[in-house]
Amino acid sequence: MGEKTYAFPAGFLWGGATAANQYEGGWLDGGKGASVPDHITGGTVSTPRRWTREIEEGTYYPSHEAVDFYHRYKEDIALMAEMGFNVFRLSINWGRIYPNGDDKTPNEEGLAFYHDVFKECRKYGIEPLVTLSHYETPWALTEKYNGWASREVIDHFVRYATTCFQEYKDEVKYWLTFNEINCAMMPFGTIMGLGMVPESDVMDFGASETHEQVQKRFQALHHQFVASAKAVQIGHAINPNFMIGCMIAGGLAYPYTCNPKDALAAQNKNNMSNYFCGDVQVRGVYPYFAKRFFKENDIHLDITTDDEIELLNGTVDFYSFSYYMSSTETVDEELKAAKGNVFAGVPNPYLETSEWGWQIDPEGLRWYLNDVYGRYEIPLMIVENGLGAVDVRGEDGKFHDVYRIDYLRKHIEQMGEAIEDGVDLLGYTMWGCVDLVSASTGEMKKRYGFIYVDKDNDGNGDLHREKKDSFDWYKKVIASNGKEL
Ligand code: BGP
């Protein structure tokens, strides 16, 4: 129990976050078409996930069943309501609405499914927070257009977004266009984020690419920016009360030493990972440093005058992000060569890591909140944060996930500090509130939830739900509006 108490604003949004491809299952139910993750196999830390053009019989694809929210949404939403959620982040699976991505008319059964889900949320006073695209580009768009590499996909997305806005305009107020859009800055964002065929068939986080592929990747990202900006404008025209946000994978890099060269390396990393996409979506223009980056990497984008106008007119209402860890940057080649984890850089001696090597840094969250708010001065929302861990049943048969409570408490305390600092923070949705499939490894054993789901890495288990200790803890946090941590 922390000694200090924090004053969260009245109406603060407390809840949890999920994504259709990791949560729903029912990959071909109700007229849904396959999405990109439906072609990505399971994996572990040591055996990376692979994408396959043809679904290989006998191969395990975690998204196909996931944890079956598609059939169990009532049970899950009731549990969320019991915890006191007033917000629930989920994504609409694009392929449920437009099975091939470029269909002329939407799939009624898919539309009806989300009406049912939103109705269930509203029954308990839970505000849905909807991501339109959380890695769920329809597979047919990958096959036909090489995903976002093609400008044509902008129109298909805009049609899909318009359908969702019109259909759910009285049920949903908070929207996000693209999940972690800045993942497209890295090679691993090629297949998951951009629905583009990568140069390797494995999900390789440190992959090297040809210059042509890098060029294509940044052009594809530009197409997503334009699609997002168009969607924002259409959404506001349909319902002026909509709050539409961007979603950035929040990265915070520290200089490994006080060598000014390390400090510059860290600044560059922060600029590229947070503010490249952030500036386009919040300010409506590419940042000043993009020019040098494009020049040095010989990247030439097709950006039309119309695109520029769309970007300027389609800026977001709030900045949302995920935050799991911080990293370090150094120019010391020897240290860099010895680094263990591709995400975290050289290990930070002041921080502990999760079982997956992610460096746990609650203070970094306060730093990040202040930094982003200082730059944009628009409301912020933390739409992912949490601890992926192996949960083992205790002797009494229950899950005593004290390590998760500890992680969350420390991060929520730093949110309280940032609010005292003056940051305008709208809400917090803990990632993977119900155990679900890991995006990076495809595993089930990397669990985040307040609610345990009976399923293992190979897909065995009866999928029943159980409360962990963190369930009652979070319930208390919400009931006290963050006072009782
Ligand atoms: C983010 C994604 C989520 C989620 C989370 C945790 O990058 O938006 O989809 O999965 O990270 O990552 P992982 O599942 O790899 O532990």
Closest-CA residue to 333 (of 267, 265, 253): 265
For residues 135 and 37, the answer to whether their CB atoms sit within 8 Å is: yes
Q: Is 54 a catalytic residue?
A: no
**Who's near 200: CB < 8 A, 6+ residues apart?**
207
Angstrom distance (rounded) from CA 419 to CA 287: 27
The pLDDT score that the predictor gives to residue 336 is 80
Distances (CA, A) of 122 to 42, 129, 381: 34, 12, 21
**Residue 441, both tokens:** 């490894």
The dihedrals phi and psi of 178, each to the nearest 5 degrees, come to -120, 130
User: What single letter denotes the amino acid at residue 111?
Assistant: L
In b/e form, how buried is each residue of 436-446, taking b as 16+ CB within 10 angstroms? bbbbbbbbbbb
Give 237-276 pLDDT, tens digit per residue: 999 999 999 999 998 999 999 999 999 999 999 999 999 9
**Secondary structure, 3-state, 234-271:** HHHHHCCCCEEEEEEEEEEEEECCCCHHHHHHHHHHHH
The catalytic residue among 65, 120, 180, 329 is 180
**Relative to the CA of 356, which ligand 1 atom is closest?**
16
**Domains, the chain, with CATH or none:** 13-479 (3.20.20.80)
Of the residues 44, 440, 448, which should be mutated to test ligand 1's pocket, given the most ligand atoms within 8 Å of the CB?
A: 440
Angstrom distance (rounded) from CA 277 to CA 245: 12
- Arithmetic mean of pLDDT, 350-374: 96
Closest residue by CA, ligand 1 atom 9: 439
User: What single letter denotes the amino acid at residue 240?
Assistant: P
Q: What separation in Å is there between the alpha carbon of 436 and the centre of ligand 1?
A: 10
The helix (run of H) or strand (run of E) holding residue 291 is helix 290-296
Confidence bin at 3 (pLDDT 50/70/90): confident
The pLDDT score that the predictor gives to residue 343 is 62
ipTM of this predicted structure: 0.98
Q: Is 127 a catalytic residue?
A: no
Give 74-132 pLDDT, tens digit per residue: 999 999 999 999 999 999 999 999 999 999 999 999 999 999 999 999 999 999 999 99
Of the residues 22, 63, 438, which should be mutated to test ligand 1's pocket, given the most ligand atoms within 8 Å of the CB?
A: 438
- Count of residues in the chain: 485
Residues with CB under 6 A from ligand 1: 19, 22, 179-180, 249, 322, 384, 388, 431, 438-441, 446
Confidence bin at 134 (pLDDT 50/70/90): very high
**Can you tell me whether residue 284 is helix, strand or coil?**
coil
pTM: 0.97
The DSSP code for 347 is P
The DSSP code for 56 is P
The pLDDT score that the predictor gives to residue 8 is 98
- Arithmetic mean of pLDDT, 152-175: 98
**Residue 475, both tokens:** 């319930």
The helix (run of H) or strand (run of E) holding residue 97 is helix 94-97
Burial class, 241, CB count within 10 angstroms (exposed 0-12 / middle 13-18 / buried 19+) = exposed
The catalytic residue among 24, 65, 136, 384 is 384
Closest residue by CA, ligand 1 atom 15: 440
Give 321-333 pLDDT, tens digit per residue: 999 999 999 999 8
User: What single letter denotes the amino acid at residue 227?
Assistant: A
The pLDDT score that the predictor gives to residue 425 is 98
The helix (run of H) or strand (run of E) holding residue 427 is strand 425-431
